[in-house]
Structure formats: C-alpha cells, structure tokens
C-alpha cells in the first residue's frame, strides 16, 4: 500500500463526499479491506472478516482504523459512491502506464496497441433482478480496453448483459496513431470510419458476409502462412456509404488448426505478417478476463452479502 498515493485517494473521496457522516469505517478502510480480499483470494465477506480479525493487532499498522465487520463492509459496498474508486483507478493507471511503456508485446510495433473485448459475468437472478439477461438468468458485461504494453486496463465499463459489444465504440474517441485490435463483434463500418478520421488504426477479424471488391494484390510469402494481401473496397451500398475509403484485407492460414483467418485494417504500411501478429496479441485480453475479472469488484455499487460476493467475484 506504500505505492498508492494517499493524497490522490483523499481527493477522490472529497470529490464525492465519500466520508460524509462516516466515523468508524472510512473509504480508505473499505479500500484496504477489499484490496486485501483481492490480493489474498478471499471467497466471501465472512472470509474477509475472519482473516482480518485474526490479525487484529496488526491492522492499525497497515492503515485500517475501523473495525472490519461483515455487515459494515456489506453496507459500505452497497452505499458508497463507486466513482471514488473509478477515479482512483485512473490515477493508478496513469502511474503504471509509463512504467510499462517499453515492455515487449510480441510484435515489432512502435505505436500503442490496445485490445478491446468484453466478457459476460453470470449472476444469480434472485439476487440481481435488475440484471435480467434471459428468462431465468441474470448477467452483466464487462467491456475492457487493455493496453498490451503491460496488460493494463485503460477503460472498463460494466453494462447490462444485453448491450451489444459494438455500442462501446461510441464511448471513447480513438487515440491518434494507436492500434486497436478487435474481434468480429465490433464490425460496424460507420464506427470504424471514425478511426480513420481520427488518424487511428484498427485490426479486426472480418465476417463471411462482408461484400468486398479487390483492387490490388501485392505478392506475399506463403511459407509464413500468409495467403493474400488485398486492397479492397466495400461494395454493399450501406457499407460503402459508411466507409468510403479503401481497406486492407489480409488472409492467413493457421498451420496448427488449419483455419483460414481474414483480417481487415486501415493500415497500409505495416507488413502483412505484422498485421496477423497484432491480432494474435488480442489473446492477452482473454487471459486478463480469466485471471483478473474481479479487479473492479470494490467499485461496483452492488448490495453484497456472502452469496453475492461469490457471484460477483467469480
């Protein structure tokens, strides 16, 4: 916890009056308790309470001033403003990103590289009726933009499970000169044209029903797995109106799975093999979801009890 800027945290608390009329259990106490739960893989609020009470004589020295009771922690998770922790997360991201700017990402690329994806988190419908996903199922989606230099999330939004992935492209402007790698769920040519207008780049896996017309075909080295490198234009009327500029389609044959993969990008400078390697880096966001999906648990404005903690933490 020595690495965390306490002054910046208090600025976030004051911004939303998080400690107003709070005498015994401050926002900092709540943050330390939930950070302890995340770092030590606690399974419930009762588990957090039992572990911290067993070390009650040392809590003062780590900064916990309040008594950590299960009911107190549940009330804090339900009533405290989640924006306190969202703003503090942005502070920590701003500190961490420069430290990881030169970390290798497995591809020869000088520009910033981001992976955009989402994961669906199943919830208990009886405990979370507001998150109805299907008739007998509740769920939320966590949309994440991951900076692949250090695998640091720069954007996280938790939405209703019914929200389509492509709608998240409306929530932020692309960074000029940076690459975003996405799956087929993000193909919307009107939204992708915003990348070109902002001088940003994208690499997205294309769908089978996208109508394209080839304009130019440079030679490729097929020993590397490449099959084609085409300059194409969209031929469907609606798609052509939404994206009037040429696109680049790179086809790659995966030798391990014998699967032919096709990618669309608006970058015509990088080698075709580099485009395929960029898309391969997208797997890092899948690993992030598997290992760190509970990273924003403390910021969720959810009425957590033991059962809710298990569902949300999962």
pLDDT in tens, 223-246: 999 999 999 999 999 999 999 999
Asked if the structure places residue 314 within a domain, the reply is: no
114 and 90 housed in the same domain:
no
How is residue 182 written in tokens? 């996405």
The tally of domains found in the chain comes to 2
61 and 210 housed in the same domain:
no
Pairwise CA distance, residues 210 & 307, whole Å: 45
Asked if the structure places residue 157 within a domain, the reply is: yes
Name residue 146's beta-bridge partners.
115, 153
252 and 109 housed in the same domain:
yes
Give me the half-sphere count of Cα atoms (radius 13 Å) on the Cβ side of residue 218: 12
The CATH number linked to 250 is 3.90.350.10
Look up residue 24 and give its DSSP letter: S
Q: Which residue has the higher pLDDT, 310 or 159?
A: 159
156 and 176 housed in the same domain:
yes
Asked if the structure places residue 1 within a domain, the reply is: no
Pairwise CA distance, residues 297 & 107, whole Å: 32
Residue 80's domain spans which residues? 6-94
Asked if the structure places residue 301 within a domain, the reply is: no
Find all residues with CB under 8 Å of 210, minimum gap 6, and list them. Answer: 187, 234, 236, 239, 264
For the stretch 115-156, pLDDT in tens is 999 999 888 888 888 888 888 889 999 999 999 888 888 888
117 and 32 housed in the same domain:
no
DSSP-derived 3-state class of residue 194: helix
81 and 110 housed in the same domain:
no
Pairwise CA distance, residues 295 & 291, whole Å: 9
Which of 40, 73, 94 delimits the end of a domain? 94
Asked if the structure places residue 306 within a domain, the reply is: no
28 and 138 housed in the same domain:
no
268 and 153 housed in the same domain:
yes
Contact call for residues 232 and 214 (beta carbons, < 8 A): yes
19 and 151 housed in the same domain:
no
Which of 50, 67, 94 delimits the end of a domain? 94
116 and 236 housed in the same domain:
yes
Angle at the Cα of 199 from the Cα atoms of 193 and 203, rounded to 5 degrees = 60
Please report the DSSP string for 208-229 in residue order: TT--EEEEE-----GGGTEEEE
20 and 114 housed in the same domain:
no
246 and 112 housed in the same domain:
yes
Record the pTM: 0.77
Other beta carbons within 10 Å of 219: 8
DSSP-derived 3-state class of residue 161: coil
Other beta carbons within 10 Å of 8: 16
Asked if the structure places residue 201 within a domain, the reply is: yes
User: Which range (57-66, 151-160, 208-217) has the least confidence?
Assistant: 57-66
For the stretch 212-229, pLDDT in tens is 999 999 999 999 999 999
Would the pLDDT of 106 be above 80? no
């Amino acid at each position: 916890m020595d690495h965390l800027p306490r002054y910046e945290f208090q600025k976030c608390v004051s911004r939303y009056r998080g400690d107003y009329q709070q005498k015994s259990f401050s926002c900092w106490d709540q943050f330390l308790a939930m950070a302890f739960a995340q770092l030590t893989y606690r399974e419930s609020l009762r588990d957090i309470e039992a572990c911290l009470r067993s070390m009650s004589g040392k809590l003062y020295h780590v900064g916990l001033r309040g008594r950590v009771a299960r009911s107190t922690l549940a009330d804090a998770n339900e009533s405290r403003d989640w924006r306190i922790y969202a703003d503090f997360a942005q502070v920590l991201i701003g500190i961490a990103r420069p430290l990881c700017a030169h970390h290798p990402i497995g591809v020869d690329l000088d520009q910033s590289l981001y992976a955009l994806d989402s994961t669906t988190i199943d919830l208990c419908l009886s405990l979370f009726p507001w998150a109805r996903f299907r008739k007998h199922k509740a769920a939320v989606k966590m949309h994440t933009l991951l900076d692949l230099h250090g695998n640091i999330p720069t954007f996280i939004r938790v939405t209703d499970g019914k929200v389509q992935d492509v709608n998240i492209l409306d929530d932020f402007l692309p960074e000029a000169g940076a690459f975003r790698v996405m799956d087929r769920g993000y193909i919307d040519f009107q939204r992708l044209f915003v990348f070109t207008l902002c001088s940003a780049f994208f690499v997205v896996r294309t769908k089978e029903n996208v109508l394209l017309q080839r304009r130019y075909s440079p030679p490729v080295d097929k020993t590397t797995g490449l099959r084609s490198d085409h300059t194409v234009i969209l031929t469907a009327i609606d798609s052509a109106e939404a994206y009037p500029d040429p696109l680049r389609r790179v086809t790659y044959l995966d030798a391990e799975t014998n699967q032919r993969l096709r990618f669309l990008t608006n970058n015509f400078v990088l080698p075709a093999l580099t485009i395929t390697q960029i898309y391969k880096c997208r797997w890092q966001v899948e690993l992030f979801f598997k290992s760190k999906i509970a990273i924003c648990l403390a910021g969720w404005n959810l009425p957590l009890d033991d059962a809710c903690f298990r569902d949300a933490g999962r």
